[in-house]
Amino acid sequence: MTDSMPDSTAEARLSPTRRRRLVLLAVVAAAVLALDLWSKAWAWNNLRGQRRIELVKDWLYFEFGFNTGAAFSFLAHTDWARFVFIAISIGAIVYVVRMAVKLPTEKPAAFVAIGLVVAGVLGNMHDRLFRATDLGGGELQHGVVDFIRVYYWPGKPWPIFNVADVALVVGVILLVLVLPKPAATPLGAETAPAQPA
């Protein structure tokens, strides 16, 4: 009689170590999301229609921006783009959450990275769902609040961004750095053909 083998994947998902990693992911995501939403609300109330705030002369400013597109204003002022970005955001969250329940647990940095990505996606999706303003055409348009203006060279500004954008970029870079890499096959190595019995 053969005993049934336990489901190692389900066991890994329920292990205390994986629970701790998922709690770490949730805490990072919640903290960064809270910071992003608070900072956008502050920018909305204090920078909209006001002069920008100088933090480091010629290099760093707080300046209100409202992006109706994606990064670098891609597809800005396109009616259907909002729904495309929301759908992409939902798909991205589902993908990284599924990744979190399958990743090896020995690298907590991977779960921090996923928490950053989730916070970044949720932060910008929140604005696309709920934040709207009249940009001058007499009609409300939904978009994302940006407020961080960096000059990488005197007179040369980087596209304006927000905390969610920073979380997304840092999270993706960290995830690429810490994800398990597939073992490389040595050059010239070949699989020997199976010998007949």
pLDDT digits (tens, 9 = 90+) for 155-191: 899 999 999 999 999 999 999 999 877 655 555 555 5
Q: What is the pLDDT of residues 63-102, one digit of tens each?
A: 999 988 765 555 555 666 778 888 999 999 999 999 998 8
**Which pair of structure tokens corresponds to residue 131?**
């934040």
Coarse DSSP helix, strand, coil percentages of the chain, rounded to the nearest 5 percent: 50, 15, 35
7, 127, 134, 165: which is the annotated catalytic residue? 165
Instruction: Give pLDDT, residue 85.
Output: 85
Q: Which residue has the higher pLDDT, 150 or 10?
A: 150
3, 58, 127, 146: which is the annotated catalytic residue? 146
Map out the domains of the chain as residue ranges.
15-177
C-beta separation of 132 from 67 below 8 A: no
165 is catalytic: yes
Q: Which residue has the higher pLDDT, 8 or 163?
A: 163
| DSSP H helical ranges for 1-142 | 8-14, 16-46, 81-100, 108-130
The fraction of the chain above a pLDDT of 90, given in percent, is: 58
pTM value is 0.81
Q: How confident is the model at residue 6 (pLDDT cuts 50, 70, 90)?
A: very low
Distance between CA atoms of residues 126 and 46, nearest Å:
19
3 is catalytic: no
